[in-house]
Structure 1
């Protein structure tokens, strides 16, 4: 096995193991799963969630969208395709509206199957007339917080996982398509640091969505495999000397970017900023998460 291939295989296993390690920290530590903790516990968990929101905001604006726009513009230029229509932005909009429509369909079906108790606000003691049901653990904890409990729904968590997973495949593909070992190591180190922060933040969001532990483990496991899968695909393409499929890859990147825009701006940030208390501290932690990812992007 030539040295370049050995470096790529080593990067594959390194990404897999490190992603699993950081992904299972929030999943395995009981502190992140508590719903009846003290005021300090709730505040710290909220700030951790705000930090994750800053990470995802930076990933969206500084990583996913620029990478996609650069890739698709390069492909369009190489194929001599010129148009006055903003095709790259339109593809992102398709991804955005796809998630919006799917989520509205899911919520509409859930409302249609709602029981009589869920539709009776006087029985539930809901004086604000919300159509959704609050989390029993949080309501019974004696610390009522006016938040959107659909914000951490399993569906939105799944879409977040899906968009990040697609992006991870493309990151791995970048490593697999390199033709020098120094470039492989350089990109791999950057992705290792980047994915460690991302997978920790993703795991926090999955824990907050209260999905079953088995599904949580499956999410983290599948996400950890995505970058190595991209590396394997890139190695196969390099070995077979194939260059087809670049446009399809860019379209998938655009759909994933649109999905990520929806999740970031309509789910993560509104949920954190609409919850009362510690507003300036929350903004500070969002800025902290954004700054760390921005610094990694600048150095990377």
Structure 2
């Protein structure tokens, strides 16, 4: 039993250190934060962002949603509850609409209470297009943004809120991953799950950091987000160890409901922010789709092997 505890504590430290390392690469390296570089530099940043979008799409469809549905259905079956209604999917939809309503409220307050200068980015593009370097400053690209592609500019205006919700949903999922480690009863299973999470989370935190530094989030807050995100899995391990000692009866049900809300949040962020953010700009559409597919394929391969 003591050896099992030592293995769990080792997994806790390993997850914390590696997550911080991979998360701070985009956050601290100036190359990732520079949006006014050459065209090649902007293109590479855009393709990295597309790769991250593919990673999040895969995490959404192949990891977060299946894990939640499996846990929730198992919990309902264990309690012998047959709601006669798609309750797990309803909880996930509640998470989706929760973010949608909150975001619309934030945007409504910003429009009614903000000054004209605060709303200016919604109405006109700057000299570098989107502010992320996706445009080239030409009249053609500005015309596209002001007509069929104005949504891309609008996303930039409130991307800090969506970045926070992305961080929150991933942090909750990360907490539950750590909880899975803390609840294991054999050291071999702890090591198996820990290695899978280490690989998975390293790519996720790198992608999250890329998205944060390319949004309106201040550098200090990016560091704070990554630091908190890195702590979530170790915190989950600690909670799992405590739950094993306390033997809480309703702990798994509470976890399943929270996981469902987080899944709905992640669905919203993936399909309303991450993918449209790149695909609504007209440049290099096919190449961007290929990099989204590459990010998806990498995570799908890891899921298949794991």
TM over 0.5: yes
TM, length-normalised to structure 1? 0.92
RMSD of aligned Cα (Å): 1.9
Gaps of 5+ in 2: none
Say if 1:117 and 1:83 are closer, same or farther in 2 by CA, change over 3 A. Answer: closer
- Match of residue 56 from structure 1: 56
- Match of residue 153 from structure 2: 149
- Match of residue 37 from structure 1: 37
Distance apart, 1:133 and its partner CA? 5.3
Instruction: Quote the Cα distance in structure 1 between the aligned partners of 2:47 and 2:279.
Output: 11
Distance apart, 1:31 and its partner CA? 0.7
Distance apart, 1:187 and its partner CA? 0.2
- Match of residue 127 from structure 1: none
Instruction: Quote the Cα distance in structure 1 between the aligned partners of 2:235 and 2:126.
Output: 37
Distance apart, 1:113 and its partner CA? 2.3
1:181-211 Cα distance to aligned partner (Å, 9 max, x none): 0000000000000000000000001001132
Instruction: Quote the Cα distance in structure 2 between the aligned partners of 1:135 and 1:155.
Output: 21
Worse overlay, 110-119 or 89-98: 110-119
Instruction: Quote the Cα distance in structure 1 between the aligned partners of 2:165 and 2:81.
Output: 31
Distance apart, 1:243 and its partner CA? 3.8
Say if 1:279 and 1:116 are closer, same or farther in 2 by CA, change over 3 A. Answer: closer
1:230 is paired with a residue of what secondary structure? helix
In the alignment, is the contact (CA less than 8 A) between 1:23 and 1:203 conserved in 2? yes
- Match of residue 76 from structure 1: 76
| 1:288 pairs with 2:294 | yes
In the alignment, is the contact (CA less than 8 A) between 1:237 and 1:243 conserved in 2? no
TM, length-normalised to structure 2? 0.90
Distance apart, 1:132 and its partner CA? 4.5
Say if 1:217 and 1:280 are closer, same or farther in 2 by CA, change over 3 A. Answer: same
Say if 1:67 and 1:212 are closer, same or farther in 2 by CA, change over 3 A. Answer: same
- Match of residue 238 from structure 2: 232
Distance apart, 1:167 and its partner CA? 0.2
Instruction: Quote the Cα distance in structure 1 between the aligned partners of 2:254 and 2:179.
Output: 13
Say if 1:114 and 1:9 are closer, same or farther in 2 by CA, change over 3 A. Answer: same
In the alignment, is the contact (CA less than 8 A) between 1:32 and 1:207 conserved in 2? yes
Worse overlay, 151-160 or 182-191: 151-160
- Match of residue 22 from structure 1: 22
Instruction: Quote the Cα distance in structure 1 between the aligned partners of 2:126 and 2:98.
Output: 27
Worse overlay, 207-216 or 161-170: 207-216
Alignment of 1:114-125 (within 5 A): 114-117=114-117
Alignment of 1:175-190 (within 5 A): 175-190=181-196
Instruction: Quote the Cα distance in structure 2 between the aligned partners of 1:135 and 1:207.
Output: 19
The partner residue of 2:212 within 206, 212, 222 is: 206
Say if 1:90 and 1:20 are closer, same or farther in 2 by CA, change over 3 A. Answer: same
1:247-267 Cα distance to aligned partner (Å, 9 max, x none): 111110000000000000011
1:65-96 Cα distance to aligned partner (Å, 9 max, x none): 00000000000000000022100000001000
| 1:270 pairs with 2:276 | yes
Q: How many pairs align? A: 291
Gaps of 5+ in 1: 125-129
Say if 1:181 and 1:261 are closer, same or farther in 2 by CA, change over 3 A. Answer: same
Instruction: Quote the Cα distance in structure 2 between the aligned partners of 1:282 and 1:69.
Output: 31
Worse overlay, 83-92 or 60-69: 83-92
